[in-house]
A and B are shown apart, each in its own frame.
Chain A
């Protein structure tokens, strides 16, 4: 797939070379995409899918700007499409940001691939966050990967239970914890650090093929199905954010993402199309 992209790019460059400026009319249209870390892998695979259908439109996933950075970048016209895991603020809406429902993915507690524990109860999880549980049963130290206070994941953890809220507060005050700024940082840390425990999303693990393992919470293993059935209550919503006057290509890509075809594809990638507000 990447080879083809390079081929296309090569052809475009050759065309530019041969035809000069007149060739711009036949060039690709690029839709620059950025957003919350959970969505990046998803956007790449869906972008490839879309480009297959619309070779004239290239989807460029820029990187992990986070929800706020993506919204800001859309409003600044630095990118064409943002993916946010949070709702928009009035000021952002006032500046012309438009929100479109897209998908949700299970919000997961994940561990290093070699951790043997299949799942934790909320109580155990709270103990781990408080620091009461310092080792896994096999003796490997339990290494907590913390997220910044203002990050969605921290709020999600707090929302899991009152005890968790308290435990997260304690964890935020603990010194010496590994802090991951972005979702990708968190996934990287979980992959890298033995005995680590942190947050992630199922869509990220699947689309980026991460070697980390989501834990069952209170015996429920996170999956699209469990989420859809309501058995697994922790989810992360992904919404599409566009500017005041999105390009046709952007609009086409948004339409594609909202299409039934994509809705069908999403469970395969650990996500579920949504039609309601997050």
Chain B
């Protein structure tokens, strides 16, 4: 028999103790019970007997009250007479009042003895006592006999209660042990790794297959965290006691050398006294995964170009559309088809055709990689988001590109253009120079169609239109989009020549200092007058300048020109005016902004305090070290910096404090309804309060009526800009405006605002 485990020894001790107590109880209770009963019966019998004798003696006393105690013969006869039958030895004694023995019956009284007595009386007066003493020897002898029997019974009970359960326990242990042995053999010889982990995640057991799989010996991993082997296993998943079926899944294992390999696992939870433990079976599925990968490659990839095939394309399109739907994003699908590929194939042979396809695939891939890396798909308006692209070969000379998160449908156009340009560059195949082009069709999710099949069909249709339109171009499926895109391209083309053709000019809009009722600042505003398009609104052409990067060049020109004008007015004898110039984020990214600004000031001969650079709130929100450094340098030069369109972003006091900012310009959208919309009024108030608390000037833009001015003035705003004061003016007009300020502008302003009190403070200009 196996040795019993420690915990079972305690159980055995407990069973033995319980059996012993019960057996002892049986062994003792019967004789003790017998004895107690015998004593009780004897005592009650003796009490009755003593009373009986006492009655007799009382009769005798009543007959001879004076000499009764000398009637020894009668008393002796009385006590000698057995009134009660008993098999115990008994002696009856009669005592007088003083306890002196008068007479006692004959007989022995082997100990132990019981004594019961009863008084007798002479006319109600106690004159003596009868005592019946009875030996309990026989009762004790019988009790001993009962004890012999009961101890035998107790022993039998002990045997039944201890031996039988222990035999059952031993059998159960034996069976458990052999079951354990069988299990151990199975575990030791299993092909899969088998381990168990306690509720804290420490490894408890580790079989041979697991040792081989992970490269550790069992002793090395025992009590170590399972996470060092299986990073995917999360103990929290097993906290739920209802979890019965266990977890099946695939994940990664980490070998001793740190290499990772794919595994399949089945992990179950088992309750134990300390909480729970988990038991896992892991299988190295590296080979299977490789086979699957090979199969997947065959099933999902084009063997010629290595690009995803139609099958995988569908899958990826579905996923891309699902993501777009979830995140509210746009997806563009570009459908590419080589122009006259059939001819090349037919004339130069399939081998050349295949080589051409491989080259085209490479070029597309390369172009997209470039596009991705330079961030052409960036959507600057959606912070943190970034577009991705995926190219597939559907078959023959058909390729598709999925562009995710494009921000705006237009953004697909430059990608298509670059890809077409890349394909169109000359190439040499089979010793011959070839000129190949392709046509592209673009459909956009969800505007063109939310269904992936239809989206593909639409892109295909757009591609055919591109072919019809002379090949080597791209077409959107949507006519409106086509029009917008071509218009933009046209604008871009014209803008590239605008500077050279002197089509750009600057207007200036004056600002009024509410406290002094003087105008000491203007904002420079870019204007574009094209011979064909006429005056193009800034809202239309400035985004194009931004997207094409022309803004850098144009921005420099604006700076230079504005500084030149400011100096020019000073030279002309006008009071000095601070000129405000808007800066684009792109100009900051260029890295040479400080040099450009310094150059402009130098060339114009303008002191830096007369230049104000207006930056956007979104630029501040980038709060990159480079931006902070540039702003600090500009600030140190003595240039004033203001935040334009303040209130539209998500500025916080914390980072406003970090920048060398001098002024906040309240966006005109808040000023417009400041007297009618309580929300706008509250925001305007808040911005003014914020500016004051930070010691910044606050300028309100777009002030058009006296009510707005009154509101802003009472609120504590420092300066205003807007049609109430003046529309943007050409440099010449501005000179005239200033020249006539005292006589014309100020009275006009006084008339509309009725601001006499304020005008009293004005001391000419």
Quick check: is A94 within 8 A (CB to CB) of the other chain? no
Instruction: Give the contacts of B40-92 with A (CB-CB under 8 A).
Output: 64, 67, 69-74, 76-77, 80
Given contacts A148-B80, A149-B80, contact A62 B73 (CB under 8 A): no
Is the pair B80, A69 in contact by a Cβ cutoff of 8 Å? no
A sample of 25 inter-chain contacts (CB < 8 A) reads A62-B67, A63-B64, A63-B67, A64-B71, A65-B72, A66-B71, A66-B73, A66-B74, A68-B72, A68-B76, A69-B67, A69-B70, A73-B70, A76-B70, A79-B67, A79-B70, A148-B73, A148-B80, A149-B80, A150-B80, A151-B73, A179-B77, A181-B73, A181-B74, A181-B77
Quick check: is A70 within 8 A (CB to CB) of the other chain? yes
Instruction: Give the contacts of A130-171 with B (CB-CB under 8 A).
Output: 148-151
Is the pair A69, B64 in contact by a Cβ cutoff of 8 Å? no
Quick check: is A196 within 8 A (CB to CB) of the other chain? no
Is the pair B74, A34 in contact by a Cβ cutoff of 8 Å? no
Is the pair B70, A34 in contact by a Cβ cutoff of 8 Å? yes
B279-323 near A? 1/0 per residue, CB < 8 Å: 000000000000000000000000000000000000000000000
Could you say which residues of chain A place their CB within 8 Å of the CB of B71? 64-66, 69
- Distance between Cα atoms of A236 and B64 in the complex (Å): 26
In the complex, what's the smallest C-beta–C-beta distance from A235 to chain B, in angstroms? 20
Could you say which residues of chain A place their CB within 8 Å of the CB of B67? 34, 62-63, 65, 69, 73, 78-79
Q: Contact size class for B? A: 10 to 19
A56-89 near B? 1/0 per residue, CB < 8 Å: 0000001111101110110010110000000000
In the complex, what's the smallest C-beta–C-beta distance from B151 to chain A, in angstroms? 41
Could you say which residues of chain A place their CB within 8 Å of the CB of B64? 63
- Distance between Cα atoms of A149 and B105 in the complex (Å): 12
Could you say which residues of chain A place their CB within 8 Å of the CB of B80? 148-150
Quick check: is A182 within 8 A (CB to CB) of the other chain? yes
- Distance between Cα atoms of A197 and B136 in the complex (Å): 41
Closest to B100 in A: A76
- Distance between Cα atoms of A149 and B80 in the complex (Å): 9
Max chain A C-beta neighbours (<10 A), residue from B67, B70, B76, B80: B70
Is the pair A148, B76 in contact by a Cβ cutoff of 8 Å? yes
Closest to B78 in A: A181
In the complex, what's the smallest C-beta–C-beta distance from B53 to chain A, in angstroms? 15
Interface residues of A (CB under 8 A from B): 34, 62-66, 68-70, 72-73, 76, 78-79, 148-151, 179, 181-182
Could you say which residues of chain B place their CB within 8 Å of the CB of A179? 77
- Distance between Cα atoms of A64 and B77 in the complex (Å): 14
In the complex, what's the smallest C-beta–C-beta distance from A60 to chain B, in angstroms? 11
Given contacts A34-B67, A78-B67, contact A72 B72 (CB under 8 A): yes
- Distance between Cα atoms of A84 and B76 in the complex (Å): 17
Question: Knowing that A69-B73, A182-B74 are A-B contacts, what are 14 other residue pairs whose CB atoms are under 8 Å apart, sorted by A's residue number?
Answer: A65-B70, A65-B71, A65-B72, A68-B76, A69-B71, A69-B72, A72-B72, A73-B67, A76-B70, A78-B70, A79-B67, A148-B76, A150-B73, A151-B73
In the complex, what's the smallest C-beta–C-beta distance from B574 to chain A, in angstroms? 164
Closest to A150 in B: B76
Could you say which residues of chain B place their CB within 8 Å of the CB of A34? 67, 70
Closest to A183 in B: B73
In the complex, what's the smallest C-beta–C-beta distance from B734 to chain A, in angstroms? 162
Is the pair A68, B73 in contact by a Cβ cutoff of 8 Å? yes
- Distance between Cα atoms of A176 and B67 in the complex (Å): 30
- Distance between Cα atoms of A151 and B73 in the complex (Å): 8
Max chain B C-beta neighbours (<10 A), residue from A65, A69, A78, A79: A69
Closest to A65 in B: B70
- Distance between Cα atoms of A79 and B69 in the complex (Å): 12
Max chain A C-beta neighbours (<10 A), residue from B69, B72, B80: B72
In the complex, what's the smallest C-beta–C-beta distance from B695 to chain A, in angstroms? 135
Is the pair A182, B70 in contact by a Cβ cutoff of 8 Å? no
- Distance between Cα atoms of A62 and B70 in the complex (Å): 11
In the complex, what's the smallest C-beta–C-beta distance from A118 to chain B, in angstroms? 31
- Distance between Cα atoms of A69 and B102 in the complex (Å): 10
Closest to A182 in B: B73
Could you say which residues of chain A place their CB within 8 Å of the CB of B74? 66, 181-182
Could you say which residues of chain A place their CB within 8 Å of the CB of B76? 68, 148, 150
In the complex, what's the smallest C-beta–C-beta distance from B96 to chain A, in angstroms? 10
- Distance between Cα atoms of A65 and B70 in the complex (Å): 6
Could you say which residues of chain B place their CB within 8 Å of the CB of A63? 64, 67
- Distance between Cα atoms of A181 and B74 in the complex (Å): 6
- Distance between Cα atoms of A78 and B74 in the complex (Å): 18
Kindly list the 8 A-B residue pairs having the minimum CB-CB distance in the complex, ordered from nearest. Answer: A69-B70, A66-B73, A73-B70, A69-B72, A68-B72, A65-B70, A148-B77, A181-B77
Within 8 Å by CB of A70, from B69, B70, B77, lies: B70
Could you say which residues of chain B place their CB within 8 Å of the CB of A149? 80
- Distance between Cα atoms of A72 and B67 in the complex (Å): 11
- Distance between Cα atoms of A182 and B77 in the complex (Å): 10
In the complex, what's the smallest C-beta–C-beta distance from A184 to chain B, in angstroms? 11
Could you say which residues of chain B place their CB within 8 Å of the CB of A151? 73
Could you say which residues of chain B place their CB within 8 Å of the CB of A79? 67, 70
Could you say which residues of chain A place their CB within 8 Å of the CB of B69? 72
In the complex, what's the smallest C-beta–C-beta distance from B92 to chain A, in angstroms? 14
- Distance between Cα atoms of A151 and B71 in the complex (Å): 13
Max chain A C-beta neighbours (<10 A), residue from B69, B71, B73: B73
Closest to B74 in A: A181
- Distance between Cα atoms of A106 and B76 in the complex (Å): 26
- Distance between Cα atoms of A88 and B71 in the complex (Å): 17
Could you say which residues of chain A place their CB within 8 Å of the CB of B73? 65-66, 68-69, 148, 150-151, 181-182
Max chain B C-beta neighbours (<10 A), residue from A66, A73, A78: A66
Closest to B76 in A: A150
- Distance between Cα atoms of A62 and B66 in the complex (Å): 10
In the complex, what's the smallest C-beta–C-beta distance from A106 to chain B, in angstroms? 21
In the complex, what's the smallest C-beta–C-beta distance from A9 to chain B, in angstroms? 18
- Distance between Cα atoms of A66 and B67 in the complex (Å): 12
Could you say which residues of chain B place their CB within 8 Å of the CB of A181? 73-74, 77
- Distance between Cα atoms of A179 and B73 in the complex (Å): 12
- Distance between Cα atoms of A34 and B66 in the complex (Å): 13
- Distance between Cα atoms of A148 and B73 in the complex (Å): 8
Could you say which residues of chain B place their CB within 8 Å of the CB of A66? 71-74
Closest to A70 in B: B70
- Distance between Cα atoms of A68 and B70 in the complex (Å): 8
Could you say which residues of chain A place their CB within 8 Å of the CB of B72? 65-66, 68-69, 72
In the complex, what's the smallest C-beta–C-beta distance from A146 to chain B, in angstroms? 11
In the complex, what's the smallest C-beta–C-beta distance from A112 to chain B, in angstroms? 23
- Distance between Cα atoms of A64 and B73 in the complex (Å): 10
In the complex, what's the smallest C-beta–C-beta distance from B77 to chain A, in angstroms? 5
In the complex, what's the smallest C-beta–C-beta distance from A132 to chain B, in angstroms? 26
- Distance between Cα atoms of A15 and B71 in the complex (Å): 35
Could you say which residues of chain B place their CB within 8 Å of the CB of A150? 73, 76, 80
Could you say which residues of chain B place their CB within 8 Å of the CB of A72? 69-70, 72
- Distance between Cα atoms of A70 and B64 in the complex (Å): 14
In the complex, what's the smallest C-beta–C-beta distance from B231 to chain A, in angstroms? 107
Could you say which residues of chain B place their CB within 8 Å of the CB of A64? 71
In the complex, what's the smallest C-beta–C-beta distance from A164 to chain B, in angstroms? 21
Closest to A73 in B: B70
Could you say which residues of chain B place their CB within 8 Å of the CB of A70? 70
Could you say which residues of chain B place their CB within 8 Å of the CB of A73? 67, 70
In the complex, what's the smallest C-beta–C-beta distance from A86 to chain B, in angstroms? 11
Closest to B75 in A: A69
Closest to A36 in B: B73
In the complex, what's the smallest C-beta–C-beta distance from A171 to chain B, in angstroms? 15
In the complex, what's the smallest C-beta–C-beta distance from A54 to chain B, in angstroms? 25
Could you say which residues of chain A place their CB within 8 Å of the CB of B70? 34, 65, 69-70, 72-73, 76, 78-79
- Distance between Cα atoms of A68 and B103 in the complex (Å): 11
In the complex, what's the smallest C-beta–C-beta distance from B521 to chain A, in angstroms? 152
In the complex, what's the smallest C-beta–C-beta distance from A68 to chain B, in angstroms? 4
Max chain B C-beta neighbours (<10 A), residue from A68, A76, A179: A68
